[in-house]
Structure 1
Amino acid sequence: MDTHSEEAVESQKHPSQPQEPGKGTTFLRTCFNGLNALSGVGMLSIPYALSQGGWLSLIILFLVAILCCYTGLLLRRCMDAKPLIKTFPDIGELAFGGKGRAMISTFMYLELFLVAVEFLILEGDNLNKLFPNTSFHIAGQKIGGKRSFVLLTALIILPTTWLRSLGLLAYVSAGGVLASLLLVASVFWAGAVDGVGFHEKGMLLNWRGIPTAISLFTFCYCGHAVFPTLCNSMKDRSQFPKVLLVCFVLSTISYGSMAVLGYLMYGENLMSQVTLNLPTRNFSSKIAIYTTLINPITKYAIVVSPIATAIEDTFPFQNSRLFSFVIRTVLVISTVFVALAIPFFGYVMAFTGAFLSITVSILFPCFCYLKIKKNSISLGLELMLIMAIIVMGFLVAVMVLCIGQDFDFFYFVQQWPGSYCDTKQSCCYPTTGKPATDFGIHGLWPNYNDGSYPSDCDPNSPYNQSKISDLISRLQKSWPTLACPSGTGSSFWSHEWVKHGTCSESILTQHGYFKSTLDLKDKLNLLQILQSAGIEPDGGFYSLNSITTAIKQAIGYTPGIECNVDESGNSQLYQIYICVDKSGSKIIQCPVLPSGRCASQIEFPSF
C-alpha cells in the first residue's frame, strides 16, 4: 500500500469524525436516505427500458442491481481500510495518492452537480407542460415558461439544502420514497381500474434493444457518490452493508413492478417516460404526473449534500451555521444558472450517464478496491468478478455513447404553400410546375421528449437518390420545394435526409424514411379535415382553437400549430405538427408541442 497516501489521509482535518455513541443517523433513516438516492427519475423510464429489451431483460435488471450493490460494498470495504476515511475522494487518495483524489473528486462532484441541474430542468419542463402560460416579473423583467418554473423550484428546494444533518434530511427522503410508491400505485390503478388494462403481451427478447435496456437499468442504480456520506453519518457504520441490501432489494422491487406494469399496459408503444402514455383525463394519471414533480424536489438536497460538505470542510469556520447557509444557497444558485444555460434535459442526462455515473458507481469502486487490497486479493473468484464488472462498466459506457443520438418520437410536419409564399421572402415553384393546392410535406423530424432534437447524426450516410428512385413521382407531388431558385426538389430532400433522416437510421433506412413520410401524408389529409370543419383557404381569419379542435377531432390527438407573418403583419397558418411514434407509422399524443407564435385569430391564405 502507498505509505504516502496513508499519511496524506491521516494528516487531513476531518470534522466528521466517527460518530460518538448515541449520535448519528439511525439504521431506518439511513435506509430512507439510501432509497431516496436510488429510486430517482429512473422510475419513469424503467418500463421503456423493459420494452426495449423484452421480458428476458428483467434478468439483466436483477444482475445490474446485484453488481451495483456489490460495488457499493466494495466502497464500504475501502472505508474500513482506514478509520479516518470519510468520503469517496479519501478512498481515491488512499488508493492512488493526490491524483486519485483529484480525479474522483472531479468526476463525483461534477456528477452530483449535474444531477442536481437535471432535477431543475426536469421540474421546469414538466411544470411548463402543465401550466404553459405562466410568467411573472422581477425588477421589471418578464420571466416566463421553463425559466420561471426553474426559479420557483429552486426557491422551494433551497430550505431543504440547509439541513446539514442527514438524520433530519431523512424526513425529506421519506417523502421521496413515499412519492415513488405512490407513482407505482397510480400506474397500477390506471391499468386495473381506469380501463387501460394489462393486455399487451410484449416481446420475449429484443437483441437490438438490449444496449438501451442495459444503459437505462445501470443508470437507475448509480447512487454510489452519496454512499460514503451515508455510511459516515450512521450511528453504527457496521450496519451499512445491511442498509445497502435493504435499499437495493426494495428499489429493485419498485423498479421491477413499475417495469412489468408499464409493459403489460402499453407494450411496444411505451414512451421514454411512462407518464406520457397515461390518459391525462383520469384522476390516477394526474396523481402519477403530479407525483413525478415531487420526486426531484425531495432528492435534490441528498444529492448536493456531499458537495456542500466538501466545500465547507475546506474552510476553518466550517461549523458556522451562517457560513453553511451561504455556501448551500450559492450552490443552489449556481445550479439554477447552469439549468437556465443548458435548457435541454436530454443533453445533460446523456453526458451524466455515459461519462460520470457509470464511472463513479462501477469503475472507480473496483479500481480503488483492487489497489487498496492488492496484497490480500488472490487470483480467485473475487478478482475475476471485479474484472468482469470493470469490463461491463466500460461496455455500458460505450453503449450509452452509441445510443446517445437516439430519439423519442417524430414530428411529422406539413406546411401550407400559400403561407410560405405570402411572405417577404416569396417563393419559386419547382421545375415540375405549380404544386397542388394542398399541404406539402416539410419533413419527418426525430425529437426528444424535452423538446430538443438530434441533427446531422451520420456524415457517412449521404443522400442517395438512386435508393428512392421508385418514390420520385410521389415526392414531387407530396413533398415539393418552394425555395428559390426553382429546382427539382432533390436538394430539399437531401437537406431533410442529412439533417433529420440520418438520426433515425437505427429504425428506418433511407428508403424507409421517405416512404414512411409519404405514407403518413396519404393517411393524413389535413386540407380535407379543415374543409370539413368549414375552414377554407380563402384568405379568411379563423380562431386558432377551431383549427386545433378540427384536427384533434379527426385524428384523436392535439396537433402543434405554427404561424408566420405576412407582409401586412397578419398571423397566418403556416405549419402543422403531428406526432408519430419511433416506427414512423403510428400517430401518438405529442410529448411536447412546439411554440407556434400564433395569434388567437389566424389567416388561412389562398394558394
Structure 2
Amino acid sequence: MTFAVDKKEGRPASSTTISSDDVPTNMKAIDQEGGAAYEGDLMAERPDQGSNMAAFFNIVCVVAGTGTLGLPYSLAKGGWIGVGILILSVIMSIYTGILIIKCIYYNGHTRLASYQEIGQHAFGRIGLIAVWFFHTSIVLGAPIMYFILSGTEIRGLTVAHVDIPEKAWIWICCGVVSIPFVLMKSLKEVSLLSIFGVIATVVLVGVTMVDSGLEYKNTKDTVVHDDVILRNLPIAVATISVCFGGNVVYMHVEESMRYPRSWNKVLIWAMLACFLMYAMVAIPGYLTYGSDAKSPILGSLPKGTSSKVATIMIVAHVLLAAPVLMTSFALEVERVFDISVEKRGVVQERLYRTVTRLIIMGAVGGIACLVPFFDSFLSLLGALGNCMLIYVLPIFFYWRLIGWRQMPWYELLWCAVILIIGLLGCIIGSIDAIKLLHHDFTYGRPEK
C-alpha cells in the first residue's frame, strides 16, 4: 500500500485517490482479539492498555448523560416520530465515530494523537483552531455544568438538614472529583469510575421507567399523543440528535484500548446500550405524560423516595462522568507541555501533572461559581460544539484526508443527510440558546 503525501501539510496529495479499504483500520495484521502483528502495524496489540470492556464503559458513561431525562419532552415537542429520529441519530453517531478514528490513521505511518491534530492535518491552522474551540467548550464546559447541577441538586436534598450554600457544595464536589482526576493518569485508570457511572445511569433509567409505568394507569384516559408535530420537528431533531455526543473522548478511549482493532465493535455495542437506555426513558415517559412531559422527566414523576433516589443517581453520574471528560482535556494539555515520564522523569512528571490538573480543577470550579448565566453560554457552545464535532467535522475531515470520490453514491447521500441534520441542530440549538441568553440578561434570574 502506497501513499502520495504532501510533505508540507502531511496529508495525501490532491491527485491521490485512497479508498476506504486502504485505511489502516482495515489491515489484517491481527484479529479482533489480538495476536501477532506485522512490523510497523499501527493498530497492533498494546499489552499495557485496557480491555474492550473498559472502553465500552468509558463511552457509555460520557454519552449516556443527563440528557436522557429530557427525551420524553423531546417526544412531546415532536411526537412519536421522535423514536425514529432517535434510531437515526444512533446510526449516524456510530458512522461518524468510525470515520473519526479512521482519520487518525489516515497516512498509514503515524497515529494522530487528538481531534485537534486531525483538524490541523485536514485544514491547517484553521482546522486546528476550530476543533480546539469546539472541543474545549465540551470537555471543560460539560464538567462545569455537571458541578453546577450537582451543587444545586445536593443543596435541594440537604437544605432541610444542613444549610450549606450552593457554591460551597460546588467546591465540595470539585474536591471529591479532583481525587481521581489527579491520581488517575489516563482513561485506562478512569474506566473504573466509568463502570460506577454507568451503574448510576442504569439505576436512574430504571427508577424513571418504573415510576412512569406505575403512573400510566392514572393518565391513560387523559393523556394526549401526537404522531408528528411539524412546527416543532426541527427542535426535536436538534435536541435528540446531540444525545450521542462522545467524539470528544473517542481518540483517547481508542488509545487506551489493548486491541484497537476492536474499536468498531466496541463503539457499536456502546451506542446500542445508550440507545436502549434512551428508549427505556423516552417511550414510557411520553406514553404516560404525553404532551405534558417535562424536561427533565423527574418534574413529571410523583414526589417521594424514588424521586430522591433518581436525584442521587443524577449527582452520582455527573460526578463520575466529569473525570472522564476532564482527563481527556488534561491529556491534551500534558501533551502540549511535554509532561511525560520520558521527557520529565518519574518525579517531575508526577509533580507537573498534579499541579496542572489542580489548576484545571480550580479554573473549572471557579467558573462554575462565578460566571453569571454560564449555563446559558454553555448551551450556545454545546449547540455549536456538539453538532459540529459529532456530525459535521468528521465527514469533512474524512473527505479531506482520505477522499470522497471513491465513495458510492448512496454513501455520499448518507453523508449529506448527516451534514444537513448536524447543521440544522447547530443553527436551531444556537438560536434557542441566544434567546435564553437574551432573557437572562434582560430579566435576570431569581435568587436560589
Aligned counterpart in structure 2 of residue 164 of structure 1, from 185, 210, 222: 185
Partner of 2:260: 237
Q: Does 1:454 align with 2:439?
A: yes
- Greater share of strand residues, 1 or 2? 1
Cα distance in 2 for partners of 1:47, 1:397 equals 21
The answer for the alignment partner of 1:227 in structure 2 is 250
Is 2:269 aligned against 1:246? yes
The equivalences for 1:202-213 within 5 A come to 202-213=225-236
Matches within 5 A, 1:45-64: 45-64=70-89
Aligned partner of 2:32 in structure 1 is none
Counterparts in 2 of 1:98 and 1:186: CA distance versus 1, 3 Å: same
Q: Which amino acid aligns with 2:152?
A: D
Q: Which runs of 5+ in 2 are unaligned?
A: 13-41, 342-348
Contact 1:120 1:336 survives alignment (8 Å): yes
Match of 1:124 in 2: 151
* Structure 2 residue 393 is matched with structure 1 residue 364: yes
Q: How big is the shift at 1:253?
A: 0.9
Partner of 2:7: 3
Asked if 1:329 is matched to 2:358, the reply is: yes
User: Which of 188, 195, 198 does residue 174 from structure 1 map onto?
Assistant: 195
Kindly indicate whether structure 1 or structure 2 has the higher relative contact order, using CA contacts under 8 Å at least 6 residues apart: 2
TM alignment of 1:43-82, pairs within 5 A: 43-82=68-107
Deviations 1:327-378 (A, max 9, x none): 1111111101111123546404421322211111111111110100127534
Contact 1:78-1:368 within 8 A present in 2 as well? yes
* Structure richer in helix, relative to its length: 2
Q: How many angstroms apart in 1 are the aligned matches of 2:440 and 2:53?
A: 48
The one-letter amino acid of 1:295's match is H
Paired residues of 2:234 and 2:424 also in contact (CA < 8 A): no
Residue 227 of structure 1, CA deviation: 0.6
* Separation in structure 1 between the aligned mates of residue 438 and residue 383 of structure 2, nearest angstrom: 18
Aligned-partner SS, 2:268:
helix
Shift of 1:182: 0.5
> Structure 1 residue 197: deviation in Å?
5.1
Query: 1:42: Cα distance to partner?
Result: 0.8
SS class of match (2:113): coil
TM-aligned CA distance change 1:211 to 1:145, over 3 Å: farther
Q: Tell me: CA distance 1:595–1:369, structure 2 relative to 1, closer, same or farther (3 Å).
A: closer
**Per-residue deviation at 1:317?**
4.0
Structure-2 separation of matches of 1:145 and 1:354: 30
Tell me, yes or no, if the aligned pair for 1:189 and 1:284 is still in contact at 8 Å.
Answer: no
**Amino acid paired to 1:145:** P
Pick from 94, 111, 119: which aligns with 1:92? 119
Gaps of 5+ in 1: 9-16, 137-143, 408-451, 458-498, 501-591, 597-607
Give the drift of 1:43: 1.1
Aligned to 2:59: 34
Partner of 1:404: 433
* AA aligned opposite 1:166: L
Structure whose CA Rg is larger: 1
Q: Deviations over 1:211-261 (max 9, x none)?
A: 221121122111111111111111111110111101111101110110012
2:328 to 296, 302, 306: 306
Contact 1:121 1:344 in 2 (8 A): no
1:550-596 CA deviation, whole Å, 9 max, x = no partner?
Answer: xxxxxxxxxxxxxxxxxxxxxxxxxxxxxxxxxxxxxxxxxx9x559
Bigger shift: 29-38 or 74-83?
74-83
| Partner of residue 150, structure 1 | 170
Do 1:92 and 1:104's aligned partners in 2 also have CA atoms closer than 8 Å?
yes
- Secondary structure class of the residue paired with 2:111: coil
Match in the other structure for 2:299: 276
TM value normalised by structure 1? 0.62
Give the residue type in structure 1 aligned to 2:333. I
Identity %: 22
- Call closer, same or farther: CA 1:455–1:326 in 2, change over 3 Å: closer
Q: Distance in 2 between matches of 1:197 and 1:353?
A: 37
Contact 1:135–1:145 (CA<8 Å) still a contact in 2?
no
**Structure 1 position 386 matched with structure 2 position 386:** no
Shift of 1:87: 1.3
State the alpha-carbon separation in 2 of the partners of residues 87 and 358 from structure 1: 18
Distance 1:406 1:103, change over 3 A: closer
SS of the equivalent of 1:164 reads coil
Q: Could you tell me how far apart the structure 2 residues matched to 1:2 and 1:209 are?
A: 47
Contact 1:40 1:296 in 2 (8 A): yes
CA distance in 2, matches of 1:25, 1:198: 47
Q: How many residues are treated as equivalent by the alignment?
A: 403
CA distance in 2, matches of 1:371, 1:174: 36
1:352 aligns with 2:352: no
What's 1:183 paired with? 204
Q: Which secondary structure does the structure 2 equivalent of 1:403 belong to?
A: helix
- Do the aligned residues in 2 keep the contact of 1:190 with 1:196 (CA within 8 Å)? no
CA RMSD of aligned residues (A): 2.7
8 Å Cα contact 1:27/1:239 also seen in 2: yes
Deviation at 1:135, TM superposition (A): 7.4
- Which whole-Å CA distance do the structure 2 matches of 1:20 and 1:379 have between them? 32
Query: How far is the alpha carbon of 1:94 from its aligned partner?
Result: 1.9
The question of whether the paired residues in 1 share the 8 Å contact of 2:71 and 2:282 is answered with yes
Q: How far apart, in 2, do the equivalents of 1:109 and 1:64 lie?
A: 23
Aligned CA distance change for structure 1 residues 204 and 19 (closer, same or farther; 3 Å)? same
